[in-house]
Structure 1
């Protein structure tokens, strides 16, 4: 792997609420300058970012149902369609954690199927955010089993906005990447996201089985890579 290849695994992320349009413009310019795979943004600003990116190969990666996942399937499907219409090439949606914690796996599978199908119909990639900090290993495994039936493009660890119990990481862990990779094999790709700030962390996640990294520290990660 060289610096260019590493950069192309990164979703360059800016999901805070208290930012400006100038911040988003700079995000896009940085992604183009460094050759990141995408800019990961909230769905309301897809049009602005796609316009800034122009003909660049950098993808607009829009979040849906973010960060809590607590909107109806119909709302998530509408937000998905709207984001893709406005220029998103990938969608990162948050699963319904209440359904998971209530054991309503039929709902979870139907939601994943409908959003994945919408993305497939409109030619966009689909990533399913698990929010692993709230889940047991058994729940993570059940989600992986569903993903192997539905085939979204990626399953993803975290939003980075979780607020777990003390001592529980709110982002990606090597152990979760191992678990997810063991469950899905080559059926579904894996995105590690949340708390990844260094070159070493990013490389460890990729070695463990991730194919994509979500981070707001992309420049530092690529700069720290020694070929």
Structure 2
């Protein structure tokens, strides 16, 4: 994999609570320059689609805790699509999952996936889950016809781990996200089977990457 191919696997991310339009523009500029995707807050998607039409735009719904009403998540996904998003990352309701209400989780994910003609990645918050719960979350995402499962939001304890990525790849393509701060971290996730990397340090990842095979 050369540097351009590696960069295309990176979702350069800015999702903090104080994110400004200038912050988003900086991420879009970097993504355009280096050939990365950009993962941005939903409130900026329409502006971003106009500002950087050649950048693949990822946005989020139910972010960061996943506890919005299912109808709210569905609306958020639809609005992001209408505003110009190319992909949606939705946060699974971990509380429902851990309490055993898998039917509610399944219905919610299926509604979000069906609401938009876009790839939907399900953020399972793997650091909060036991392995059996992680497997259940991945099964539900697959049953809902999601395109990916994603390790974490980065807003709870922990981030992506090689062990979690390996489990998750048994079910769907994986976006490894949370705590990935170097090209070495990213390479470890790709070697474990991840297809996509989410990181706020996308430029550092790309600039530090040396050609490899995955």
Q: Show the 5 A alignment for 1:165-180.
A: 170-180=158-168
> TM-score under structure 2 normalisation?
0.95
Counterpart of 1:215 in structure 2 is 199
Q: Matches of 1:113 and 1:138 in 2, distance apart?
A: 21
Q: Matches of 1:44 and 1:10 in 2, distance apart?
A: 21
Counterpart of 2:52 in structure 1 is 53
Unaligned runs of 5+ in 1: 165-169
Shift, 1:207, TM fit? 1.0
Counterpart of 1:12 in structure 2 is 12
Shift, 1:19, TM fit? 2.7
Shift, 1:71, TM fit? 0.6
Counterpart of 1:159 in structure 2 is 153
How well do the aligned residues superpose, as a CA RMSD in angstroms?
Answer: 1.0
Unaligned runs of 5+ in 2: none
Counterpart of 1:131 in structure 2 is 125
Deviations 1:142-180 (A, max 9, x none): 112222322201000000000x3xxxxx11000000111
Deviations 1:76-128 (A, max 9, x none): 00111011000011000101112112100001111111111112xxx211000
Aligned residues: 211
Counterpart of 2:2 in structure 1 is 2
Q: Matches of 1:21 and 1:147 in 2, distance apart?
A: 32
> TM-score under structure 1 normalisation?
0.90
Does the residue aligned with 1:33 lie in a helix, a strand or coil?
Answer: helix
